[in-house]
Amino acid sequence: MNNTRTSNRLIACIMFSDILGYTSLMGEDENLALETLRKNRRIQEPIIEKYGGTWIKDLGDGVLSMFPSATDAVSAATEIHLATIDDPNLVIRIGLHLSEVIFENGDIFGDGVNIASRIEPTAPPRGTHISDAVRRNLSNKKGIEIKSKGDFNLKNVKEPVPIYEVIITDEFERVMPIGFYDTFEETSSKYKDSIAVMPFRNLNNDPEEEYFGDGIADEILITLSNIKELRVVGRSSAFQFKNSTLSTKEIGKALQVDYLLEGSIRKSNNRVRINALLLKVKEDSQVWAERYDRELFDIYEVQDDIASKISKKLKLTITDVDKRVAPINMEAYEQVLKGRFYVDKYITFFDKALACFTRAIEIDPNYAEAYAELGNLHFLYTMYLLSPPREGFRKAKFYAEKALSLNDDLGSAHFLLGQLYFWQDWNFDKAKKQYEKADQSAIPFYFTGTVVDPWYYAFGFGDFEKAAEVTLKVIENDPLSFFNQYTLSCYYTWGREPIKAREVLQNMLLAVPNYSEAYRLLAYNSFLEGDSERAVTEAQKSVDLSNGIGWSQITLSIALAQHGKHEEAKKIISTLEDSSETQASSPLGIAIIYIVLGDIDLAFEYLNKAIAYRDIWMLSLKYAPEFIPIREDPRFKKLVDKIGYPS
């Protein structure tokens, strides 16, 4: 909310919140009471900010804040209750009133503030009471109902005040992602300190060299992630603040870290100047700084020195990484950094990344990390239906094994091999062994902070709850990662938790309104819920935004089939079959369409094709809900046996 205005009088919705039983808790367990107070702030601050509100001040165990509209305030109050519902010590009451206030020196004054403070004690535990002024200015909000509680005589208020209770229904759609609020409570006991590594600024002002600053920061991040007592925020979250004008405190608060590592880099021929600066967020103060003027070939030494000095400043122990091999040729190293830069820019830049990694191994045929990156890229090509599974996975496996033949301590290559055993070979035992080798490898790589890919639990054992649980732990270290939020929504979707899935997906769409995959998964949830009309609308939106690539057309055809528009669904099948010669397809997806159309024989025909094709999503067969209609068919068991799920 913007408080810079020529007049300090404004109309605002004032919120008072209070923790019930806090005084008693303080008398019984002071440490628990103080932690409860800290948790209350961790929860309320991001919610108030997300709904456009302003945190005014703490009032003991209460909070005073204000919002630009009644709808924003009621939505924020509702989400605060949902975020604290499972904490027996954090039982909150909230009161709201809309009126003119005086905003001055960061505080607010006026009769409206007094009325809001008097309304709050009338609310039930975990409840919100509002005045008639709030009710009248409240726009229709899905999932929120209002119930009259009659007139109340409030202290120091002359006339009786009509009071209304806010009722939350299951349709309320939260803004903050699942698991966001308790992320840092869990990490506080596990880690001594936390840090975010920001992209190093490119002082050459050459957009073509932007990759170098990102790459150096990424390498330092990878090394720091091996300090067991240090929580290192994932690059997806930290790099969102690239070129940000926010202050150190604001970025630190958003990422919930104690320290920020910032830097700049200037390259000139074969020399490089790097400035590194470690900042303590709370005091906005400099802890350590150093300038390095080195030959480009010394870049690994500089990266390790920065990580080592940070660990010493924070009095932490860094894992020995002396098995890490510096590249012989710095041009090859730069090609790898540039390739990673393009991979992060997503599908449309994959071909540029391919050219970079290919060039790297041409320059240095013994560069193990370049082979690992090339293998991972072919894996991504396959997973995004840009390459047929047999061809794409074959290349990925070749390069992963080549990387390990050059250096068996390369964690990233072991993890990739685990992925290939899982998705291509359906060999669950070998996959898990490679995941574990990746975790134990001497050469670090920053993946997610977990040993086993969550899909292993979801499709290998049908444990979607475990997959979501593991992903929430990943989100602890990378809270702003779209990829992590997306996979979380997948596990909720297939785990038949549509409300949770929609919460995550709607939150993603608030940040990126044209994210086609979010609409596709919304459509899939609607399909699984039996709401075919909504499924068609959402799936069509996904097709429009993605230009029909990936699974968007398959999802639209499934929705149309469920909605009774069989000819339109079959028309899409024909289009998919016609294009199968020129682009990767999914026989399994077509099989699902035929299941919904009721043509079970054709469905099994395509499922057998999917087995032969090594369709990447064949692993979903045993536990995904869309196959429930055919699970009792004897042909289904034969297919399951061919995959060889663990017992």
DSSP string of 253-284, one letter each residue? HHHT-SEEEEEEEEEETTEEEEEEEEEETTTT
Q: Tokens 């535990």 correspond to what residue?
A: 125
CATH H superfamily, domain 486-643: Tetratricopeptide repeat domain (1.25.40.10)
Mark the ranges of the chain whose per-residue pLDDT is less than 50: 1-7, 177-189, 321-322, 448, 582
pLDDT at 319: 60
pLDDT at 194: 87
pLDDT at 440: 82
pLDDT at 163: 94
The secondary structure of 172-237, three-state, reads: CCCCCCCCCCCHHHHHHHHCCEEEEECCCEECCCCHHHHHHHHHHHHHHHHHHCCCCCEEECCHHH
pLDDT at 73: 93
pLDDT at 4: 37
Same fold, 330-440 and 486-643: yes
Give me the CATH code for the 330-440 domain, please. 1.25.40.10
pLDDT at 633: 96
**DSSP string computed for 345-384:** T-GGGHHHHHHHHHHHHHH-TT-HHHHHHHHHHHHHHHHT
Domain ranges of the chain: 9-168, 183-313, 330-440, 486-643
Domain spanning 183-313, CATH architecture: 3-Layer(aba) Sandwich (3.40)
Specify burial of residue 513 (Cβ count, 10 A radius: 0-12, 13-18, 19+). exposed
pTM: 0.66
Domain spanning 9-168, CATH architecture: 2-Layer Sandwich (3.30)
CB 297, CB 312: distance < 8 Å? no
CB 8, CB 102: distance < 8 Å? yes
Beta bridge partners of 194: 231
pLDDT at 174: 59
pLDDT at 449: 57
Distance CA 332, CA 364 (A): 6
pLDDT at 186: 43
